[in-house]
Amino acid sequence: MRVRGLLPAILAFGIPASINLLSIMVFTRQLSLNQYGELSLAWVTIEFTCGILYKWNKMAMMRFFDRSQKATIISIQFIFIVTAFLLLAMGLLRLAGATAGVMNDNSIIYPVIIGIIAKGIAYFIQDVQRIYYEKLTRFTVVSLCCNLAYYLPAILVTVLSHGQTSVAMILYIQTLGLMAYILLISARPVWLLRKHIVKKQTAELYKNFSRYGVPIGLASIAVGMFVRIDRYIIEYTLGFKQLGIYSAAFNLSNLAITSVFSVLTISTYPDIIRHLNAAKLQEARAIYRQNGTIILTLIPLSVFLCCLFNTSLCSIFFGEKAAEITNIFPFVLLAVYLFNLRIHYFDQIFQFTKTTRVAMYLSAGMGLGHLIISYLLSKQIGLPGIVLSNALMSLAGILFTYVFSFKTFRIELNHVVVSLNSVGFVAIVIYLISHYNI
């Protein structure tokens, strides 16, 4: 992979990630850990539900994309149906609340529903830019504007109010800001396609969409259970403050690691798909193999350095709350790395080989396992139990996918690099256990 080819991806994913990083620093410093825990739970719910209702659709659009725009039109049709359903659900909730006399405008349920719609459409629009244009310029601009609309107004209000803004108000500002932006940029394209959107496409296209996309939607439920159900377990068993501590460590870790994976893998995903659609298997495998070498060489080194300088990093990002986050942060970081390694690299083969049904079963089993194990361990040892369950399930998923790949899109790993990673991982865990009170 050439450095020149990476630079657009760094801009496309690095700039929005910087805005997200600013939001973490502001919200963790300005809000109490209880408030940050509640806000994080709302974000998790938005992302979880958005993944279930919208992700399968945009992934199918990308897999069956062609210049005729038929796949894009089908996706827009599904988006209209899902959005109408969510708006109807919100209307019924408000009507029920008004009838019962318990309607509360400070409830976070309404901005959460708006956020699900806004995020789902925003992700779709970004992916259309990424798959339609080989250069990442348009994708970079749209991603940047989406992040600015979602975070910047809420950050400004929170800072100016010195953290006195309610969680519901922060969510309203975020979701309505993003909704306004996506309506602005999508109005003209939708108007131009209006005649095609209301026209039924061929039955075969709908069948292919459903056959490929629905398993991804079901897998998204399981993946969402795996990566987000722990937040609900923490809130239920340990309370919002502990949730705030865990969420601060997780959000920072996930932001940093996901951004790196996105630069290295998601930016090359369309190229791999194009090669596969053109029956150029060797070219697709070469790009994928190159990604794996870079991932297992650069990212673990960065993760281990962050673990070693844990105290300093937490002080920089979390301010006075660092003392309560330091003990758990490096362990969360390691678990998040394993999770991202699984979903952003290993699990890509299920999409490349159109075996998303296997991904659905795997994710369901892992999600259920994580739900049970994390609940039991959290009752016994608190937050470390959640982290341990996350790491163990990720390792199990990586091993299964690697073995499964022998029969499909074989994952070729450098054995020396894998050995060094394994030894380094064990060494850093031993070091952390001996230096932190877990």
Closest CA to 348 of 272, 260, 256, 254: 272
Q: Are residues 127 and 248 in the same domain?
A: no
Shared domain check, 149 and 263: no
Q: How far apart are CA 222 and CA 267, in angstroms?
A: 25
175 and 296 in a single domain? The answer is: no
Looking at the structure, do residues 388 and 270 belong to the same domain, yes or no? Answer: yes
In a domain, 211, yes or no: no
Whether 222 is in a domain gets the answer no
Residues 275 and 419 in one domain: yes
- 248 and 159 both lie in a single domain: no
Does residue 64 lie in a domain region? yes
Classify residue 288: in a domain, yes or no.
Answer: yes
pLDDT tier for residue 175 given thresholds of 50, 70 and 90: very high
Q: Does 210 have pLDDT greater than 90?
A: no
Q: Tell me the three state secondary structure of residue 106.
A: coil
Asked whether the predicted pLDDT for residue 435 surpasses 90, the reply is: no
Instruction: Check: CB of residue 100 under 8 Å from CB of residue 93.
Output: no
**Half-sphere exposure (CA, 13 Å, Cβ side) for 314?**
23
Does some domain include residue 214?
Answer: no
Q: How many whole angstroms separate alpha carbon 348 and alpha carbon 423? A: 26
- Both 154 and 299 in one domain: the answer is no
Taken in order 185, 140, 146, 64, the sign of the CA dihedral is positive
CA distances from 379 to 44, 230, 371, 383 (A): 22, 12, 12, 9
179 shares its domain with 239: no
Residues spanned by the domain of 58: 1-201
Q: Which of 389-393, 404-408, 409-413, 425-429 has the highest mean pLDDT?
A: 389-393
Is 418 inside any structural domain?
yes
Give the C-alpha separation, 354 to 215, whole Å.
10
Q: Examine the domain organization and report whether 237 and 163 are in the same domain.
A: no
Query: Do 121 and 71 have their domain in common?
Result: yes
CA distances, 359 to each of 116, 120, 325 (Å): 24, 21, 34
pLDDT value, residue 1: 47
Confirm whether 207 is domain-assigned.
no
Instruction: Work out how many domains the chain is built from and give that number.
Output: 2
Whether residue 307 sits in one domain with residue 170: no
**Dist. CA 15–CA 23, nearest whole Å:** 13
Give per-residue pLDDT as tens, 1-22: 445 555 656 666 667 778 888 8
User: What's the pTM?
Assistant: 0.76
Residues 6+ apart with CB under 8 A from 393: 226, 366, 369, 370, 373
Domain match, 237 and 179 both: no
Give the Å distances, CA to CA, from 93 to 1, 43, 97, 244, 292: 51, 20, 6, 28, 47
Residue 281 has a CB neighbour count (10 Å cut-off) of 12
Asked if the model's pLDDT at residue 424 lies above 90, the reply is no
The whole-number pLDDT of residue 437 equals 61
